[in-house]
Amino acid sequence: MTWRQCLVGFCRLRVATVGFSFLLALFCILSSMSVATDQSELVHSQWRPSELEGLSSLQKILASNRMTILTQNNANSYYIYREEKMGFEYDLAHAFAQRLGVSLHVQNPGWSDLIPDLLSGKGDFIAAGMTKTEDRQQKVDFSVPYMDVQQMVIVHKDRLDIRKQEDLSGMTVHVREHTSYKRRLRELQKQGLDITLKLHSNIPTEEFIRLVAQQNIPVTVADSNIAQLNRRYYPDIRIAFPVSEKQRLGWAVRKTDDELLQAINDFLLAAQEDGTYARIYQKYYANVAIFNYVDLKKFHERIDTRLPKYEAMIKKEAKKFGFDWRLISAVIYQESHFDPQATSYTGVRGLMQVTRDTAKEMGISNRLNPKQSIHAGVKYLSRMYARFEDIIPHTRRLRFALASYNIGYGHVRDAQRLAQKQDLDPDTWSALKKTLPLLRQPKYYTQTRYGYARGTEPVRYVQRIFSYYDILRQKADVPSTSTSSHPAQKHMVTK
C-alpha cells in the first residue's frame, strides 16, 4: 500500500466514522499497513499540496486536523473576551469541529469578502449568520437552516412617527453593501417606496445600530436576532417593524463540497436533537426579547455615574476571590443599583444587600460601608460557588451560586431534588428554571427540606444579572481583544 493510498484511506474512514473515536479510526488504518507509522506524524504533519490533491474538502480537514471558518467579528458571530473566543456562530462551529475531532480556526475577511474568500479556498465554510438568498445560491450551497430571522427597521426611540413601511418615504436608509438588506430595500424601491439607500462597505450591522442610537443616522435595517441582542447595548433604539418575510440562516460551502455539506447537515440536525443547539442558543439569545427600556436606560446611565465610585473596590475583591469584576458589578446593580444606603423591606442592607447574619459570618461590622459590603458579598458568593463543586461547567455552577445568594443554598438543593423526581437533570440550570418556581406551591414545597420559597425570584434574578453582565462585557471589550487582569480567575464565566 502506497503512502498516498494510506492517506486517502485514512481520510475516507474518518469521513465514514466521525461519530467514533479518532484513535479507533486511526488504528483501523494502521492495522492495514505493513509499516509502522507514528500517529502524531500522520495527523499533525503539514501536508504538501500534492499530498492532499484529489481529496475532498472534508477529507482535507480530517487529514490536516484543521477546520477554518469564515465569519464576522461581532457580538453575534465571533469575538474575543478576556482571551476567550466566543460568539453564537463560533460556538456552534466549535461544536462541529469537536464532533469531527479537529481544531477550529477563524478568518474574518469582512462581509463583502466572505463568499469570494470561500470560493478561493481561504476557508472551509461560512458561518456568519448568512441568509439563504437566490443570488447567493447561485454561488454557494447552503446547509439546512438553523435559525429563522426577519429584517427589521431600526430607528431612534423618539421617532414615533415611523410605524409602517410608508413612513420611510423620503428617508435615507444606511445598510452594508452585498447584504440581503440591500436586496430587500431595492425591491421596495421598485415597488414604489421613496427611499434613498446609502451603502457602506464592511461596516458591521451593530455599528449602524449604534449610529441610530446616537442619532447620527436616521434608520437602518437588521435581522431580528441582531436587533434584539443589540437593544440591550443601545436601549435608545426602537425595533419599528419588519420589511421582509421570515428568512433562514445557514452555513455556506462551495458547490463542489457535497461531502462537507452532508457532514454539516448531519451535525446541525443532531445538534437540534441532542440539546447542543439549545445550549448554545440559550447562552447568547436567552431573554433578548425581554426588554425594559427604563431599567436598561437607567443601568447604562449608572454605569457612568455610579459605578466609577466603587470600581476599584469591586476589582480588588473580585480579583481576590477569582471573579470577573464585571460580573460582581452586575450583581451589585441587581442588588442595590449601586446605592450604598439601599435597604430592602426584608432588612438586608448596603451595596450587596447583606443580611445581618451574613455580615457577622463574613466578619464585617458595617453593612452600609461600601468597602465592607463588597467584601462580604463577594466572599459569600465565593462560598456558595464552592458548595456547588459537583456542578460543572463554571457558567452553570455560577448560576447555581447566584440563585443561592438570592434565595438560599437549601432552597436550590430542594429544587434539584424536585428536578430529580421529575426525571430532569438536577445539575442543569434549565431544570432549575422549571423547579425553583414550584417552591411556591404547597403540592411541591411540602415535599422539600426547607419548605416554601418565592422560587420565581431567583430565576429572574439570575437572568437579569447575566443581562447586565453581558452589557458590561460588550460595552468594554467588543470587538477588540481583552486580556485578563487575573489569569487565575477560576470563576470567570461567559454568558
* Residues carrying an active site annotation: 335
CA R_g for the chain: 26
CA 368 to chain centroid: 36
Cell of 478: 467588543
Burial class (CB in 10 A: 0-12, 13-18, 19+), 190: exposed
- Tell me, letter by letter, the H, E, C secondary structure of 159-225: CCCCCCHHHHCCCEEEEECCCHHHHHHHHHHHCCCCCEEEEECCCCHHHHHHHHHCCCCCEEEEEHH
- In the chain, the amino acid numbered 197 is L
Q: DSSP letters of 404-462?
A: HHHH-HHHHHHHHHHHHHTT--TTSHHHHHHHGGGGGSHHHHTTSSS----THHHHHHH
Contacts of residue 290, defined as CB under 8 A and 6 or more positions apart, other chains included, come to: 463
- Using DSSP bridges, classify how beta strands 140-142 and 172-176 pair: parallel, antiparallel or unpaired: unpaired
Burial of 262 (0-12, 13-18, 19+ CB in 10 A): middle
Contact 396, 428 (CB under 8 A): yes
Burial class from Cβ neighbours inside 10 Å (0-12, 13-18, 19+) for residue 40 reads exposed
Calculate the CA 491 to chain-centre distance: 18
- Beta-strand pair 237-242/151-156: antiparallel
